[in-house]
Amino acid sequence: MIAALMTKKEWITNNVRRKNLGAHVLGVTAFAGGHIAVHWLMPSGQVVQDNWDMHGLEFPSLTVELPEMAWDEREIHDVFGYRPQGHPDLRALVRNPRWPDEFYPMAGLNAPQKPPWREVAPNNPEQTVEGEGVTIMKVGPTHAGIIESGHFVFSIIGENILHLDLHLFQNHRGVEGQLQGRLIGSVAPLISRICGADTVSHQTNLAMAVEEMAGYQVPDEIKWQRILLLESERILSHLNDLAQIPAGVGFSVANQKALTMKERWQRGLTVIFGHRLLFDTVHPGKSLAMDTAALGALITQLQREWRPWRSLVQGHHGFQDRMKGVGMVRQSDALRFGGQGVVARASGLTFDARQLMPLYHGWHVDYASETSGDVSGRFKVRLDEVEASWRLMQGVLQRYQIHSALPFWEPPTDLIGQAATFSESPHGLNAHIVAVDRGKVIRYHVRSGTFRNWPLLSKAVAGNAVGDFPLINKSFELCYSCLDR
């Protein structure tokens, strides 16, 4: 890295200036050997990088000025052992008491070995409210339904939530460590399974990173297919979430009908793309054989089923009332904590990474945005986005035609370079920071949309009735897997 030595003050002002210019942080990435990089997505679409080279094991924390960095820096502290100087809350985020003291899995260049875990419970200290009449209610990590694992510690008074302390990373597998030293050409199945709900977005980020490092421009047909896959995934995920929100208030008819649409959509996608969840569908420089007529017919079929369902949920006053004013996210909080995706767009922010993705250049997308910031806002944004995605797909399908033969391209096996790629997953801005040397991964950092939204969930539930937690939680519908990795 050729960078003039920066002072701590310059490091902070530089990064704060980018935020004030309207940039979005893609990732705060630590590298073995004492290097920190902050990648910013500027409003122009350009990705810029600020670098800090450490002397010793400390680096200046940005969290006081940019609270959205709080979890990034805590994670670095946990897995690298680098200390963010001046961080106001350095409780363990990823680690727990079972981790041996000297075990910092990402501090070395190679894939980390399994440590001798300590024979204690994995529970970290809890942050609770103390006082007369305050009750502590703990939920998880295993749950009473079919849900991913996470542990929630509520401080409640009467019916009302005073504070929610999140204990996530129960599903931490060590994926970024596992990727270390692997051939970049062999990581696709793993990247495809970082998250069962945002898989296409993760696969696309990997493909774009490989193509960028190799300097390969993909043909239009491949770009169009990626748009179709990304939008198919958005619809799949939104249909799921739109089914879960009515379930959160016992509106079974709306729940079952939406699950039915999801199932039909999945069955159709299986015929067209070969997998019910779209795993293993995006590959660097390649496209899949695809029946475009079948995809067009599938969209029309779903739209027919969708219209009466939308009338049902929008015309149901009881359901609408249950969503209003519940689980509010203030616009200022969404901005300050770097909220992403549906959560941010329901709180008056208008950012959607597709606006800046070169992949979508030249395509018209109707971007959704609401200002209410409550469950009903997040529900409405998803409704509008499903319809907008179908329209976009129909536009792409009209132009889609495969010329006789696409050029054959294989990524070079001795790839060298670094890339920061991003896409708009169903859960928001999803970024990958990838560094490769002679074909081998030296660092692979994944920062998914949910990472930015989990702290906001904690803010949104405070002041609400504890009985509304499932509803608020469903309206965020954050995945645990691509947070925990």
Partner 1 sequence: MGKSIQVLQLRHVDAGSCNGCEQELTALGNRFYDMQHSGIDVVASPRHADGLVVTGPVTDTMKRPLMQDWDAVPEPKWLIALGDCAAGCGVFQGAYACYSGVASVRPPDLVIMGCPPLPQDILRQITVWRKTLD
Name which of residues 69 to 128 contact partner 1 (CB under 8 A).
96, 98, 105, 111-115, 117, 121-122
What is the edge-to-edge ordering of all strands in the sheet holding 47-53? 24-31, 35-41, 47-53
Rounded to a whole number of angstroms, the minimum distance from the CB of residue 337 to partner 1 is: 23
Q: Residue 277 CB, nearest distance to partner 1 (Å)?
A: 5
DSSP 408-447: P----TT--EEEEEEEEETTEEEEEEEEEETTEEEEEEEE
Minimum Å gap between C-beta 181 and partner 1 is: 11
The nearer residue to partner 1, 319 or 480, going by C-beta atoms, is: 480
466, 163 contact by CB (below 8 A): no
Of residues 39 and 262, the one with the C-beta less far from partner 1: 262
Q: How far is 211 from 202, CA to CA, in rounded Å?
A: 14
Position 189 contacts partner 1 (CB under 8 A): yes
Q: Where are the beta strands (DSSP E) in 102-242?
A: 134-139, 151-157, 160-167
* Least CB distance to partner 1 at residue 30 (A): 17
Beta-strand pair 35-41/160-167: unpaired
Residue span binding partner 1 (CB under 8 A) among the ranges 147-155, 214-222, 312-320, 438-446: 147-155
Instruction: Kindly state the tokens that stand for 343.
Output: 């959560």
- By CB under 8 A, the residues from 153 to 182 that bind partner 1 are 169-175, 177-178
C-alpha span between 284 and 19 (Å, rounded) = 32
Residue written as token pair 């009332």: 321
Q: How many helices (H) and strands (E) does the chain have?
A: 15, 11
Shortest distance (Å) from residue 269 CB to partner 1? 13
- Of 259 and 335, nearer to partner 1 (C-beta) is 259
Half-sphere exposure of 315 (CA within 13 A, CB side): 6
Q: Does 144 bind partner 1 (CB under 8 A)?
A: yes
State which of residues 13, 85, 110, 142 lies at the interface with partner 1 (CB under 8 A).
142
Interface with partner 1, residue 412, by CB under 8 A: no
Interacting stretch for partner 1, rule CB under 8 A, among 41-49, 141-149, 374-382, 412-420? 141-149
Q: Whole-number minimum distance, CB 302 to partner 1, in Å?
A: 15
Cβ 174 to partner 1, closest distance in Å? 4
Is residue 14 within a helix (H) or strand (E), and if so which, with residue range?
Answer: helix 8-20
How many residues lie near partner 1 (CB under 8 A)? Answer: 49
Residues 289-318 that bind partner 1 (CB under 8 A): none
Q: Which stretch binds partner 1 (CB under 8 A): 59-67, 152-160, 186-194, 348-356?
A: 186-194
Scan residues 228-257 and list those touching partner 1 (CB under 8 A): 240, 256
Cβ 405 to partner 1, closest distance in Å? 32
Of the two residues 79 and 415, which places its CB atom closer to partner 1 in the complex?
79
Task: In whole angstroms, give the CA distance from residue 27 to residue 33.
Answer: 18
Residue 423 and residue 390 in contact, taking contact as beta carbons nearer than 8 Å: no
* 16 phi, psi to nearest 5 deg: -65, -40
Contact between 258 and 325 (Cβ < 8 Å) = no
Does 417 bind partner 1 (CB under 8 A)? Our answer is no
The alpha carbon torsion through 333, 335, 341, 342 (nearest 10 deg) reads 50
By beta-carbon proximity to partner 1, the closer residue of 184 and 357 is 184
Q: What is the DSSP letter of 472?
A: H
Q: Which one of 197, 222, 299, 471 is in contact with partner 1 (CB under 8 A)?
A: 197
**Does position 279 bind partner 1 by CB under 8 A?**
yes
Does position 283 interact with partner 1 (CB under 8 A)? The reply is no
Residue 483's nearest CA partner among 454, 457, 460, 456 is: 454
Give dist(CA 39, CA 144) in Å, integer. Answer: 39
Q: Given the structure tokens 């689980």, which residue do they identify?
A: 327
Pick from 385, 94, 29: nearest CA to 238: 385
- Considering only the stretches 25-33, 294-302, 351-359, 473-481, report the one whose residues sit in contact with partner 1 under the rule CB under 8 A: 473-481
CB of 17 or CB of 173, closer to partner 1: 173
Q: Which of 14, 51, 266, 303 binds partner 1 (CB under 8 A)?
A: 266
Q: Closer CB to partner 1, residue 8 or residue 143?
A: 143
Contacts of 361 (CB under 8 A, 6+ apart): none
Among 14, 49, 128, 149, binds partner 1 (CB under 8 A): 149
Is there a contact between 194 and 202 (Cβ–Cβ < 8 Å)?
A: yes
Binding site for partner 1 (CB under 8 A): 96, 98, 105, 111-115, 117, 121-122, 141-149, 169-175, 177-178, 189-190, 193-197, 240, 256, 259-260, 262-263, 266, 276-277, 279, 479-481
